[in-house]
Structure 1
Amino acid sequence: MVMQRKSGECARIAGGILLLAAMLGGCALQSDQPSRSIAPLQGHDIPPVEIPEFDELTPAMQAFLDRWVVSDRGPDRHAWSLVWAATDRNILDFRYDPAVTLPPAETFRRRTGNCLAFSLMFVALARHAGLNAWYQEVEVPPQWNTTNHTLLVSMHINVVVQGRSGAWVVDVSGRASARTRRLRRVSDEEAQAQFLNNLGADALTRDDLDYAYAYFAAAIRRAPQVSFVWSNLGVVYNRNGQTDEARRAHRTALQIDPGNSVAANNLFLIYEQEGDLAAAQALRAQVEKHRRHNPYYLYHLSSDALAAGRITESRELLEQAIELQSREYRFHYELARTLVRAGDMGGARASLRRARELAPDDALAGDLSVDNLPALPD
């Protein structure tokens, strides 16, 4: 099952995310009409979550503005000086980390964070400096990764700050916004909901359903029109065995955004597992299109093909997965296994070397240990 974490390569959606979570068993099929109400998480005491002051300006942030932002030379110079100071390594020295979502004050203190964290911090600084600044979602190719058996896909967000003669786009990732990319202005409430969504996604990857539910529910209360948060809440329900609530949450996500392929995929899996083949068939085309752009799904298909002896198909699927996600060591390792079966020992050795170059230390001791390596004759 998939889940969305927004923002980006910056926020896991927050400034975005998508999650694939393992399906649990379902119960008898009941009404699956969408609902904007948030059902309780059965069997759990939900903890309170702290909502940061997104417009907070600490003394250190004020001192930064006082020193670096020129306010007496007109709006253009005013805006430019903030952009320059916030992005110059010799001044703020901000370190981009796509895995870190922090509130604005803490982002400034640590000088690190993802695109959402940076954007929230920059907007707070800009508005306290008297500037007009807003959030902007940028369409980028989905970036998939997997954490603790949860599949995530990140989206991207940046900031626009207005001067008198034009506007500057401030993007901590360093990417340029191509003219062919779709851009969408994001409200403060949605950006803040994306922040809470990211924290919920982090909790879900730890299998902490209490905090995942608490953060997703808080995000929905802040911005109930954000489709992907409903889908993520559906993942929590499903992991808790509340299939009816999961189904309704995913249908709510699709009611808000019929193009939400993650919600469609998760709902499709529920229908398939429950044996509602007619409902599953209605979603099949949308789901298959989405899956073909998901390298982890291609990896899954390749394993099935290899087990069935379809060596060429397995190889082609893995090559497609690597084209989409070249730094996933498991893809290269599986390709090595497949190439051994195909008799291509040179290619298998090269794939195995690449897998070991990319693998974390714990994988080298586990998944890629000598006992698990393909048999590669000299």
Structure 2
Amino acid sequence: MQYRHLTAYALLSLSIGLSACSTAPLNLPAPHATETQSLLHLEDQFHLNNLATHFPDPLAITPEMKAFVKQHVPESLPEVGRLRYLTEALRNPRTFGISYHSGLTLTAAETFEQKHGNCISLTVLFIALAKEAKLNAWVNEVVENQDQELLADNRIAVYKHINAVVQLPNKQVVVDFSDLGDAYLRPQQRIPETRAAAQYYSNRGVDMLGENQLGLAYQYFKRALQLDTGTSYIWGNLGTLLNRMELYTEAEIAFREAYSLDNNDHTALGNLERLYLNSGKKSEAKQIRQVIVRRQLNNPYWHYGIAKQAFEEGKTEDALRSALRAIRLDNSEYRFYYFAAQIYRELGDRDNYHKFGIKAAMMRKAAQDAE
């Protein structure tokens, strides 16, 4: 029961450097609570004092959705049967035909009406319908190394994968709307619905920022932070907006808050580095750059991302070197072996193509069996 994914994403303006440097510990104190709270009261900067925005409930269910469940999910069935009937009804083109669309962050009701959406959209739809079918369902966040998606397109986004979990009498079943068929094998954690809603509003804010509707973007980010002040990338998204507005002091506070919540948030570091460079704080920018470079060079997912980028650019030998470096740093990730096999095939090295391909297949099967 696999679907496709998108999920909450974080804006960044991070350029990558490769020079090795010695580094000192990063001294980046967290902003005071009064500073961060002040960022949620900037309506004057966006001329929003007289503008009221309606924030829909992402999980709200409509009469049509209730009728769908009643028609396709017999309430007399046990939980496992209700789950099966619901997922089959959603997948079957004759009854619904759900599909993935990366550019759409929708509520459950909107997703039901349009029959497609991104990962958050599809997940909130499933959760709403599952609850109507009297299933115990909740939102799950797949713990993913952010650098992987960061370097797949290092000027756009960091992704967090979202899926759903249903509790059956003797087991939990993951329903994952992901184009990565193995997403259910990765570490996951339950998150409250308020955090899922915050991710929805944050994504909507990013959508508005992309459309240059800065006032709406601010309102969505503010709403997200009213629900969840503890997620770093939402503060980072707000910082990107404030930077766009040339509110540099406020943007720095937002980026520092993001980093204080997650000191592995390379997005926040990259944005801070650029902010400091643009404001003439070269010493602070250099210190951050050194930390970023050190972390990149020791991060297998960074090398994996570099390998993918080089491969797409036709730099096959460079791609192989980076893929093998990723394997040396982490020999437990089957995707590294699988990608190395692809590179060897492109190079015409059949022996290593088979060697690494078989290794990847065995590692993936072992992970599936363990699950």
| TM-score normalised by structure 1 residue count | 0.67
1:138-287 maps to which residues of 2 (within 5 A)? 138-140=142-144, 141-142=148-149, 151-177=156-182, 181-287=186-292
* Partner SS state of residue 253, structure 2: helix
Asked if 2 retains the 8 angstrom alpha-carbon contact of 1:17 and 1:153, the reply is yes
Instruction: Supply the AA of the counterpart residue of 2:12.
Output: L
Matched, 1:108 2:112: yes
**Residues of 1 paired with 2:206 and 2:296: CA distance?**
21
Q: Paired residue for 2:12? A: 20
* Alpha-carbon contact 1:123-1:134 (below 8 Å) kept: yes
Matched, 1:321 2:325: no
Q: Tell me the TM-score normalised to structure 2 length.
A: 0.68
Counterpart amino acid of residue 111 in structure 1: K
CA distance in 2, matches of 1:252, 1:10: 28
Name the residue aligned to 1:314.
Answer: none
C-alpha contact 1:49 1:215 (8 A) present in aligned 2: no
Shift of 1:261: 1.0
> Per the alignment, do residues 264 and 195 of structure 1 end up closer, same or farther by CA in structure 2, a change over 3 Å counting?
same
Query: Contact between 2:119 and 2:161, CA under 8 Å: does it hold in 1?
Result: yes
Partner of 1:142, secondary structure, is helix
Look up the SS of the partner of 1:171 in the other structure: strand
Question: Which 5+ residue runs of structure 2 have no aligned equivalent?
Answer: 16-28, 316-371
Measured against aligned partners, the alpha-carbon deviations of 1:194-250 in whole angstroms (never above 9, x if no partner) come to 111111101111222111111101110111111111001001111111111000011
Q: Are the aligned partners of 2:14 and 2:270 in contact in 1 as well (CA < 8 Å)?
A: no
Decide which structure has greater helix share.
2
Return closer, same or farther for 1:174/1:68 CA change in 2, 3 Å cut-off: farther
Q: Are positions 1:84 and 2:88 aligned together? A: yes
SS of corresponding position for 1:116 = helix
**Which AA in structure 2 matches 1:142?**
E
Judged with a 3 Å threshold, the aligned counterparts in structure 2 of structure 1 residues 219 and 178 are, in CA distance, closer, same or farther, namely: closer
d(CA) in 1 for partners of 2:271 and 2:127?
Answer: 34
Aligned partner of 1:40 among 42, 47, 56? 42
Aligned residue pairs total: 288
Cα distance in 1 for partners of 2:272, 2:309 equals: 24
- State percent identity of aligned pairs: 28
Q: Does the 8 Å contact 2:65/2:112 carry over to 1?
A: yes
By how many angstroms is 1:93 displaced? 0.1
Shift of 1:34: 4.6
Of 68-77 and 33-42, more deviation after overlay is shown by: 33-42
Aligned with 1:93: secondary structure? coil
Where structure 1 has 5 or more consecutive residues not aligned to the other structure, the ranges are 1-7, 24-30, 299-316, 336-378
Counterpart-to-counterpart distance in 1, 2:185 and 2:79 = 29
Q: Is the 8 A contact 1:196 1:219 kept in 2?
A: yes
Q: Per-residue displacement from partner, 1:133-153 (whole Å, max 9, x unpaired)?
A: 11111245316687xx97234
Contact persistence 1:9–1:155 (CA under 8 A) = no
CA distance in 2, matches of 1:116, 1:318: 28
Q: 2:135 aligns with which of 112, 131, 135?
A: 131
Matched residues in 1 for 2:165 and 2:185: separation? 18
The RMSD of aligned alpha carbons is 3.2
